């Protein structure tokens, strides 16, 4: 089975079902990678440095010989690692019925996808080894660099958003989950960022991804709501000429692999009633990461469905959500916003929390965040036409139905 070089759209379609191997160094992989990829580095970080130095200061031939010295002793271990990855993935797939890409049958179960930085010698070397052993190997034309181009182009696509607004404690994240369960298209920015968006947002959460990895995850989540072929059409409509040519080449090469894959409709200039995505209203910065500028600007132009929930109901919700968190970490968070909160408010909030009076402490904090959100909400152009207030008596999954009904009556912004 010959090694095949494929374009990014086909690569991502195959990646829905088969293992993706990143052969770059551990440091490169740790910085950011294609979501879901395994790391099988051809070189360690130090070996990569040695080979790179030889390439620049001596010759290409010297660098290749050094690379072979490093590669040779690893060959058997690499083959066995890939066997384990394939076996594990096949076992997982066999234990459940796949619904990700129904009717998309691929040529072989012994399939591996490889990429390096630019689709060069590192992926070619490991592809040769795995092909020799008997795997069906695909390599990514342009490598990780091409994937990053796709990520950035994705953010420029004309997505139509519906923004869930509301003061802190309105249960917006819970509503996103309910909307998703009800079949709506949803992107949970806080889940991707692993942060709840406030000074307290990191408490009880895993570590955040870096900025580049956050962008990779976000782009794949956006694309997962639609099909790659529909997205390629949207990129064309948005004027992405280079991506358009890549997508055309990819479609020609992928033949029938994804012909039967169902997709939602991506909004274009010719399709104003296309499917919309629900997002929670956020600041551009979520913890340590930033929402990419094109997505952020799109969000600020999108209609906001504001859940108007009484203060007392929201305070109860916040106490349930945050009242059981590590007290010292909450106190540390209060200290970080001391200047903005005001010295007296910060002192009182901390003291009340230490005394066990969580309700009064959070009352102070909630009033602060209400003022902050009000300012951010109205600090956008055309807010009077974008804002749709939805009165709600309490925080309940039924609010999701109100959101959907209200949004159906409102025309989408261009």
What pLDDT shows up at residue 410?
A: 62
**Is the pLDDT reported for residue 229 higher than 50?**
no
Q: Write the pLDDT tens digit of every residue in 323-341.
A: 889 999 999 999 999 999 9
**96/163 same-domain check:** no
SS3 content of the chain, % helix, strand, coil (to 5): 55, 10, 35
Tell me, what CATH number does 41's domain have?
A: 3.40.250.10
Same-domain status, 178 and 199: yes
Residue 1: pLDDT band with limits 50, 70, 90: confident
In the chain, % of residues over pLDDT 90: 75
Chain center to CA of 122: 27
403 and 271 in a common domain: yes
Amino acid 105: pLDDT: 45
Q: Quote the CA–CA distance of 18 and 34 in Å, as a whole number.
A: 13
Q: Tokens 């923004």 belong to which residue?
A: 163
Element (H, E) at 115: strand 111-115
Residue 193 has pLDDT above 50, yes or no: yes
Indicate the residue among 130, 150, 170 that finishes a domain.
150
Q: How many domains does the chain have?
A: 2
CATH number where 335 lies = 3.40.50
End residue of a domain, out of 150, 168, 202: 150
Question: Would strands 136-140 and 185-186 be described as parallel, antiparallel, or unpaired?
Answer: unpaired
- Asked whether residue 134 is assigned to any structural domain, the reply reads yes
| 255 within domain boundaries | no
Question: Which tens digits make up the pLDDT trace of 268-318?
Answer: 545 544 588 999 999 999 999 999 999 999 999 999 999 999 999 999 999
User: Which residues touch 244 (CB under 8 Å, ≥6 apart)?
Assistant: 232, 235, 236
Do the domain assignments include residue 10?
yes
Q: Please give the pLDDT value at position 116.
A: 97
Q: Are residues 194 and 122 in the same domain?
A: no
Please report whether residue 328 resides in a domain.
yes
pLDDT at 354 over 90: yes
- Per-residue pLDDT at 139 exceeds 60: yes
The answer to the question of residue 251 being in a domain is no
Residues 62 and 167 in one domain: no
Give 17's DSSP letter.
T
- Could you tell me which residues come within 8 angstroms of residue 124 by beta carbon, excluding any fewer than 6 positions away? 139
Report pLDDT digits (tens) over 342-351: 999 999 999 9
Residue 242 lies in a domain: no
- Check residue 238 and give its pLDDT: 55
Tell me if 87 is assigned to some domain.
Answer: yes
pLDDT at 165: 96
Is pLDDT above 80 for 253? no
**Which long-range contacts does 91-94 make (Cβ < 8 Å, 24+ apart)?**
93/17
Same domain, 167 and 300: yes
* Residue 11 pLDDT > 90: yes
Considering the candidates 104, 111, 116, 392, report the single residue annotated as catalytic. Answer: 116
Residues 194, 139: one domain? no
Give yes or no for a contact between 398 and 182, defined as CB atoms under 8 angstroms apart.
no
Indicate if the pLDDT at residue 48 is higher than 90. yes
Provide the residue range defining the domain that includes 336.
Answer: 158-211+266-408
Average confidence (pLDDT) over 194-208: 91
Q: Say whether both 310 and 381 belong to one domain.
A: yes
Considering the domain architecture, whether residues 144 and 201 belong to the same structural domain is answered as no
Same domain, 162 and 144: no
pLDDT at position 304: 96
- pLDDT above 80: residue 248: no
Asked about 116 being catalytic, the answer comes back as yes
Q: Do 270 and 144 belong together in one domain?
A: no
Q: How many CB atoms lie within 10 A of CB 108?
A: 10
Residue 241 counted as domain residue? no
Could you give the CA distance from residue 198 to residue 168 in angstroms, rounded to a whole number?
A: 9
Domain boundary among 107, 128, 150: 150
- The alpha-helical segments, DSSP class H, found in 16-72 are 26-31, 45-57, 60-71
- The tokens of 232 are what? 């390629």
Residues 314 and 399 in one domain: yes
For the cut 80, the answer to whether the pLDDT of residue 413 exceeds it is: no
């Amino acid at each position: 089975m010959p090694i095949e070089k494929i374009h990014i759209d086909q690569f991502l379609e195959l990646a829905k079902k088969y293992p993706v191997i990143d052969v770059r160094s551990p440091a490169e992989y740790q910085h950011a990678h294609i979501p879901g990829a395994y790391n099988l580095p051809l070189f360690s970080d130090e070996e990569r440095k040695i080979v790179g130095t030889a390439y620049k200061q001596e010759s290409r031939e010297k660098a290749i010989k050094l690379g072979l010295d490093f590669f040779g002793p690893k060959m058997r271990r690499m083959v066995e690692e890939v066997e384990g990855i394939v076996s594990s993935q096949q076992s997982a797939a066999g234990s459940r019925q796949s619904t990700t890409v129904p009717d998309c049958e691929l040529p072989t179960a012994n399939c591996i996808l490889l990429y390096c930085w630019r689709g060069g010698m590192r992926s070619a070397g490991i592809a040769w080894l795995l092909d020799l052993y008997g795997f069906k190997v695909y390599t990514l034309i342009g490598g990780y660099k091409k994937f990053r181009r796709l990520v950035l182009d994705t953010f420029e696509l004309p997505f139509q958003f519906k923004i869930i607004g509301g003061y802190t404690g309105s249960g917006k994240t819970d509503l996103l989950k309910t909307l998703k369960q009800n079949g709506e298209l949803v992107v949970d920015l806080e889940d991707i960022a692993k942060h709840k968006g406030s000074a307290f947002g990191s408490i009880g959460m895993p570590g955040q991804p870096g900025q580049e990895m956050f962008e990779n995850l976000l782009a794949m989540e956006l694309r997962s709501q639609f099909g790659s072929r529909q997205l390629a059409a949207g990129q064309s409509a948005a004027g992405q000429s280079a991506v358009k040519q890549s997508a055309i080449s990819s479609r020609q090469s992928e033949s029938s692999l994804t012909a039967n894959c169902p997709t939602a409709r991506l909004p274009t200039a010719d399709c104003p009633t296309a499917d919309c995505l629900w997002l929670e209203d956020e600041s551009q910065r979520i913890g340590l990461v930033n929402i990419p500028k094109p997505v952020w600007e799109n969000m600020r132009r999108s209609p906001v469905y504001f859940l108007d929930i009484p203060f007392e109901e929201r305070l109860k919700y916040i106490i349930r959500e945050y009242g059981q968190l590590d007290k010292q970490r909450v106190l540390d968070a209060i200290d970080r916003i001391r200047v903005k909160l005001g010295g007296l408010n910060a002192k009182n909030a901390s003291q009340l929390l230490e005394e066990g009076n969580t309700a009064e402490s959070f009352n102070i904090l909630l009033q602060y965040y209400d003022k902050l959100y009000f300012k951010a909400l109205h600090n956008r152009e055309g807010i009077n036409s974008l804002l749709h207030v939805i009165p709600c008596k309490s925080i309940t999954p039924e609010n999701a139905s109100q959101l959907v009904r209200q949004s159906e009556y409102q025309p989408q912004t261009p």
